[in-house]
Amino acid sequence: MSDLTPEDDLTPEDWQYIAEGGLHVVFGFRGSDSHPFRGCVLRVPKKHPRVARAKRHLVGLSRALLTPRYSYDSKVVRLPIPFVSALFARAETHRPAHRLQEGEPGVLSLGHDDYIEATQEEDLATSSLPRDAESVQIISLEIKPKCGLVDVENLPTRFVMKEKANPDPRFAQRSAYNPADFHSLDASRFQRALMAIMDVPRNNFRYFNERRKGQQSSEHQASIPGEKRQFLLDVLTPIFAGEGETPPLVGDLLVGLLAAQSWGAGQQKTAEDVYASMTEEDRQKVDPGDSEEAAAIYDQAVLSFFNASQTDLPGLLTVVSPSDVLPHADNGWNTLQYRHHQAGQAIVRTPTSSSAAVEWVARYLMARTFMDVSLMVNLAVTPESDESLRDALTSRRYQRVPYQSGDIEVWYRVMVTDVDLKPAWKISRWRQDLDDILAAYHRDRDGEDVA
């Protein structure tokens, strides 16, 4: 449901540009403490107002895939166009050059409505602090891990191939990051991945300015201050990779991400074939339109794959075992990738059940979504906590990190953002992208062999 935002509450000067991706610009509220928008961001679409529609699916998607621990509050709001224009005008000096080159946000000239649908979300870049916690320091990070599985047997991940042979012309520096290291559940490989994205952050890593109570800044920094690198390696390793026999604190999330990505990595050709076998009516069902039916299809697509019931939905992927999602040594694919691949091949060979095809493509699109999510990480660094601070932190879903240094305690929480569904029309674009990446990678490799 959309909420019409009272215009009195909307003052462009209260909002500060935080960051943007390909489709949205995010503005953080910097007005008075007593204002209803305190602690919120507006996530405003640039190109077309699909946010509200995608949001509806997000509910189904995150119910199916993530436990509530990794999801946060968000609702659809309608913003008057003059207000959005003023936000973009104020943001101009903060926006990266390559984004400004894309031209004026198309959403401003759609002309069929006098408002734009955006989402109002909890601000995960500054993370609201307990009111009584003067001494708590919050560090906010964003990690965009990309896909940790290989697309083509015996070749590196898509990110690695692209970076090696077909790097994004927007960026001068090449990245040594390998998403498979980030998702490996192995401490030293994880640290290698973290160092690579701290060295060349691009859109894989953002370090937001630290904030203490009373400070408002959340502008992000291009690179990470030297003295913070070791601290982050020490704190993030137990969270994302575990240490020795101790599993990672968010191991269920990583395994869930890999499980969801398994429905996409290596499945491109099958996706085209299954999609080609579908009727126009069935194709409509998987697109993030307005219907509640589509959300139900996405839920059902997950349940069917695991042969599970509706009551198993919340956090279903968190019961998947690491041995099902970690790639096998021989060729780099995992068990779920094979299973999904085989299910798709069966549909292509004998197109008997249209619902199976719809669900297969829905899973493929979910996988593509989960190849592009961001993880927003908040770290609360505090002198030894008392009971009221512990209660305040846990009520905001922070948990303790087993990190020992002097008197300080570190608490963390991780939220998954950018879970908008990908539209089915992208299936053919991904084919082209993969072909280009593979051709460039082989050219590059052949060139090296010759040299």
Ligand X SMILES: Nc1ncnc2c1ncn2[C@@H]1O[C@H](COP(=O)(O)OP(=O)(O)OP(=O)(O)O)[C@@H](O)[C@H]1O
List residues near ligand 5MY by CB under 6 A.
21-23, 203, 368, 372, 422, 426, 433
> Who's near 56: CB < 8 A, 6+ residues apart?
290, 292, 295
CA atoms within 13 A on the CB side of 176: 10
At residue 423, the 3 state secondary structure works out as: coil
Interface stretch with ligand X, choices 17-25, 243-251, 286-294, 333-341 (CB under 6 A): 17-25
Find the binder of ligand X among 10, 19, 77, 336 (CB under 6 A): 19
Residue 83-122 contact track with ligand X, rule CB under 6 A, x = bound:
--------------------------------------xx
> Who's near 358: CB < 8 A, 6+ residues apart?
278, 282, 285, 286, 297, 301
Interface stretch with ligand X, choices 174-182, 310-318, 414-422, 425-433 (CB under 6 A): 414-422
CA-CA distance, 408 to 384, in Å (whole number)? Answer: 6
Cβ distance to ligand X smaller for residue 265 or 416: 416
Dihedral over Cα of 19, 24, 27, 28: its sign? negative
Least CB distance from residue 74 to ligand X, whole Å? 7
Instruction: By CB under 6 A, tell whether 409 contacts ligand X.
Output: no
Tell me how many residues contact ligand X (CB under 6 A): 22
CA atoms within 13 A on the CB side of 392: 16
Residue 92: count other Cβ atoms within 10 Å of its Cβ.
9
Interface stretch with ligand X, choices 22-30, 57-65, 86-94, 150-158 (CB under 6 A): 22-30
Instruction: By CB under 6 A, tell whether 22 contacts ligand X.
Output: yes
Least CB distance from residue 132 to ligand 5MY, whole Å? 38
Instruction: By CB under 6 A, tell whether 43 contacts ligand X.
Output: yes
Cβ distance to ligand 5MY smaller for residue 22 or 383: 22
* Binding site partner of 273, from ligand X, ligand 5MY, none, Cβ cut-off 5-8 A by kind: none
CA-CA distance, 124 to 69, in Å (whole number)? Answer: 14
- Asked if residue 298 lies in contact with residue 62, where contact means CB atoms within 8 angstroms, the answer is no
CA-CA distance, 364 to 261, in Å (whole number)? Answer: 8
Cβ distance to ligand X smaller for residue 50 or 339: 50
Instruction: By CB under 6 A, tell whether 377 contacts ligand X.
Output: no
Terminal-to-terminal C-alpha distance of the chain: 61
Least CB distance from residue 215 to ligand X, whole Å? 16
**Residues binding ligand X (CB under 6 A):** 18-24, 26, 41, 43, 121-125, 142, 206, 372, 374, 417-418, 420
